[in-house]
Structure 1
Amino acid sequence: MTLVPSASAAAASGAEHIVEAVAYDAILLASFGGPEGQDDVIPFLRNVTRGRGIPDERLEEVAHHYRAFGGVSPINDQNRELKVALEAEIARRGIELPVYWGNRNWAPYLDEALQDAHAAGHDTLIAIGTSAYSSYSSCRQYREDFAEALQRTGLDGTVTIDKVRQFFDHPGFVEPFVEGVTGALREFEAGGLSAEQIHVLFSTHSIPSTDAARSGPASRGFGEGGAYAAQHLAVAEAVMAGEPSPWSLVYQSRSGPPTQPWLEPDINDAIAGLAGDGVRAVVIVPLGFVSDHMEVLWDLDTEALQTARENGLLATRVPTPGVHAAFVSGLLDLVLERRDGVPVAERPAVTSLGPWYDVCRPGCCENVRRGFSPAVAGVAP
């Protein structure tokens, strides 16, 4: 019985974890996309906000972030680097799996990637989304975009797309953050600060509270912040294991109207609040991001670091995984986990929440405003 649209035969039944080997013939690397020049900025933002009726005047309020960097988001170059690094790791291990890269919101688009794969005879794809956590924008929206791209290209029924599990607690994703936090703490301590004077802020993209509550399967009972908040908290706790410095989870990059509740506290508010609590330094950890794209460069490296300076605090921002060897190797491990049907007990996870599902559960990560649209790699709706 087929419960999962456009899935491999092994995943079509909708089991939580697929422990049957699948002969994938290519990897689909899927990302958000970003403008690569000043003329691209508004058309790109129209793509991001399509269906919401936001006028260009309001989009220009966000565009200045990109315009400050010449209209170029670093994300496309970062994905080019990640693709090259992943291909090198594949070659190093003697594996034959080509990598096709497609974006949701800017060229190269997913449609092009699917058409190129099909033209080369590669119709059984395993996708890697460049987001680690469970929410509408970081998981389900990718799955919906895959479904839409299959329809637009006429490849639905010909090309199958499975997706690797959300990798928030895979060692390859977590290790770079552990290295960054440990290094930052030791550097501040070497400068004469005590552990108690250093506060670690784990930052991730804020999302509407209603969407957060619906992230992950409802049966898990994650509470107000849903799986999205629970996953970040669990990873932060793992990163801080053995470290006595205080830490907290904060949010950034809010874009909704003031009347709509989003996850809080905002990182800038949190920094201002710490200044009077005996804190001398903050370590900013971009825990929700895989690379140094615009939300990191602007919201953290520009705004948050400025807020720290204004409040008399020392501050540093640790690296994202980027093309860290452990991260790249871990992504390939996630692909091979599905290719080889690795038993669940043998799959690495650094928190008790994982290993996460191979096939997303029914009703997972609903967008409250839009409802459910067709999606691959998960049981409907």
Structure 2
Amino acid sequence: MPQFDAILFLSFGGPDEPDDVLPFLQNVTRGRGVPPERLDEVAQHYLHFGGASPINRLNREMIDRLRAELRSAAIDLPVYFGNRNWHPLIEDAVGSMAAAGHREILVFTTSAWGGYSGCRQYDEDIARALVANPWAELTMRKLPHYWDHPLFLEACADAVVAARDSLPADQRHAARLVFTAHSIPQAADRAAGLPANGGGLYSRQIAEASARVAQLCGYAEFDQVWQSRSGPPEVPWLDPDICDHLEGLVAQGTVSPGTGAVIVCPVGFVSDHLEVVWDLDNEAREKAAELGIGFARTATAGEDPRFVRMIVDLVAAQLEGRDETAPGVTENGMPCAAGCCEPVRRPAKRR
């Protein structure tokens, strides 16, 4: 069994200043044929917040808490930070780890989910970093999915309760609980998981996590919707969208203007990505105000101390030889199983 000697905290990445925004977006969308005008449109969302995504800052704060929690657990492993799409890039982080003499590395990713973007693409990131550092003989093991880890679910549930308590007293009891996650193309969701199991791994995990969190905080009824879709309108994505759903709740009389409210839990996000603060704190909040209903958005799980305790638990399981075959565990960028979570191939453009 590998004797792991370091941890790589691997995330999506985000710009730190205005000059980073377009290069970052170009990294994210490389090879996808996204028109420049769409990038310019999304860039304005970042520039609205001073050209910085909160994700890098929040990840660094989480890493500081993780280091402290590891010390408390008497686990002597250094933690390095790397990203898929922006500095510090994973290729550079892995190079620094190898140069420091580390050879057996555990990789924690800031996605709790299966599917291509949430799981397999991180395997591709690891494989790319190994190719970029061919001189280093490394073993890199990605930690498992954690969408169903009790500490993750408890953190989400307590965030729901805190958001509910932030509403005016006369809106709390009847407030509608709505879970959101990042939408993906329906074809990509069908390709998520093993074909023999019917695909749909990502959407099934989101639905199950939402149900478990609702149960933990005492809700018999809730809604699970999507946000942050992009791409051409003719390509079907997972729906309904959060803003469309708010309109539907009012139109159906489920939430009443003036007295009704919604509690929105971005269960699909570990921390406040730009998509959370723009799509929910701006667009969805404005839609709720337009409809005359109250709105409370929960904190993301990464802000809760239990989240880093969960990471330490995942690390300890690997150090002790447990959970070696748990869903999502892979080594050196090799997928967990042939055919699982294959990327959807876009049709070649006609010349």
Q: TM-score normalised to the size of structure 1?
A: 0.84
| Paired position in structure 2 for 1:15 | none
Cα RMSD after superposing both structures = 1.9
Matched-pair contact (CA < 8 Å) for 2:166–2:296: no
Distance 2:172 2:127 in 1: 52
Distance 1:187 1:58 in 2: 36
Match among 199, 202, 207 for residue 233 of structure 1: 207
Match among 85, 88, 111 for residue 131 of structure 1: 111
Counterparts in 2 of 1:176-325, with a 5 A limit?
Answer: 176-186=155-165, 188=167, 191-193=169-171, 195=173, 197-221=174-198, 226-241=200-215, 243-244=218-219, 246-276=221-251, 277-279=253-255, 280-325=260-305
2:73 aligned with 1:93: yes
Distance 1:154 1:42 in 2: 30
Q: Tell me how far 1:367 sits from its aligned partner.
A: 1.2
SS of 2:105 mapped into structure 1: strand
| Paired position in structure 2 for 1:365 | 341
Matched-pair contact (CA < 8 Å) for 1:198–1:245: no
Which letter does structure 2 place at the counterpart of 1:211?
A
| Paired position in structure 2 for 1:145 | 125
Q: Tell me how far 1:361 sits from its aligned partner.
A: 2.4
Which letter does structure 1 place at the counterpart of 2:81?
W
**Gap runs ≥5 in structure 2:** 331-335
Q: Tell me how far 1:154 sits from its aligned partner.
A: 1.6
Matched-pair contact (CA < 8 Å) for 2:152–2:307: yes
Q: Tell me how far 1:54 sits from its aligned partner.
A: 2.9
| Paired position in structure 2 for 1:14 | none
State percent identity of aligned pairs.
Answer: 44
Distance 1:140 1:76 in 2: 22
Distance 1:155 1:262 in 2: 42
Once the two structures are overlaid, the 10-residue window that deviates more, 46-55 or 88-97, is 46-55
| Paired position in structure 1 for 2:144 | 165
Q: Tell me how far 1:332 sits from its aligned partner.
A: 1.2
Matched-pair contact (CA < 8 Å) for 1:275–1:312: no
Q: Tell me how far 1:234 sits from its aligned partner.
A: 0.8
Matched-pair contact (CA < 8 Å) for 2:227–2:242: yes
Distance 2:31 2:116 in 1: 16
Q: Tell me how far 1:160 sits from its aligned partner.
A: 1.4
Matched-pair contact (CA < 8 Å) for 1:22–1:341: no
Q: Which has the higher contact order (CA 8 A, sep 6+)?
A: 1
Q: Tell me how far 1:324 sits from its aligned partner.
A: 1.6
The 1:152–1:187 alpha-carbon spacing in structure 2 relative to 1, beyond 3 Å, is closer
Q: Tell me how far 1:322 sits from its aligned partner.
A: 2.1
SS of 2:271 mapped into structure 1: coil
Q: TM-score normalised to the size of structure 2?
A: 0.91
SS of 1:249 mapped into structure 2: strand
The 1:149–1:370 alpha-carbon spacing in structure 2 relative to 1, beyond 3 Å, is farther
Q: Tell me how far 1:148 sits from its aligned partner.
A: 1.1
Matched-pair contact (CA < 8 Å) for 2:270–2:300: yes
The 1:49–1:187 alpha-carbon spacing in structure 2 relative to 1, beyond 3 Å, is closer
Distance 1:342 1:145 in 2: 25
Q: Tell me how far 1:180 sits from its aligned partner.
A: 1.3
Structure 1, residues 103-129: CA drift from partner, whole Å, max 9, x if none?
Answer: 111110001111111011101111011
Distance 1:313 1:213 in 2: 35
Once the two structures are overlaid, the 10-residue window that deviates more, 168-177 or 282-291, is 168-177
Structure 1, residues 177-216: CA drift from partner, whole Å, max 9, x if none?
Answer: 110112333555x713474x32111000000101101112
Once the two structures are overlaid, the 10-residue window that deviates more, 43-52 or 146-155, is 146-155
The 1:155–1:297 alpha-carbon spacing in structure 2 relative to 1, beyond 3 Å, is farther
| Paired position in structure 2 for 1:50 | 30
Which letter does structure 2 place at the counterpart of 1:58?
R
Q: Tell me how far 1:52 sits from its aligned partner.
A: 2.1
Matched-pair contact (CA < 8 Å) for 1:172–1:330: yes
2:336 aligned with 1:356: no
Match among 327, 331, 342 for residue 307 of structure 2: 327
Distance 1:153 1:333 in 2: 29
Matched-pair contact (CA < 8 Å) for 2:16–2:52: yes
The 1:215–1:343 alpha-carbon spacing in structure 2 relative to 1, beyond 3 Å, is closer
Distance 2:323 2:113 in 1: 22
SS of 1:275 mapped into structure 2: helix
Distance 2:214 2:135 in 1: 45
* Number of residue-to-residue matches in the alignment: 336
Distance 2:193 2:61 in 1: 30
Q: Tell me how far 1:240 sits from its aligned partner.
A: 1.2
**Gap runs ≥5 in structure 1:** 1-20, 348-354, 372-381
Counterparts in 2 of 1:18-29, with a 5 A limit?
Answer: 21-29=1-9
Q: Tell me how far 1:82 sits from its aligned partner.
A: 1.1
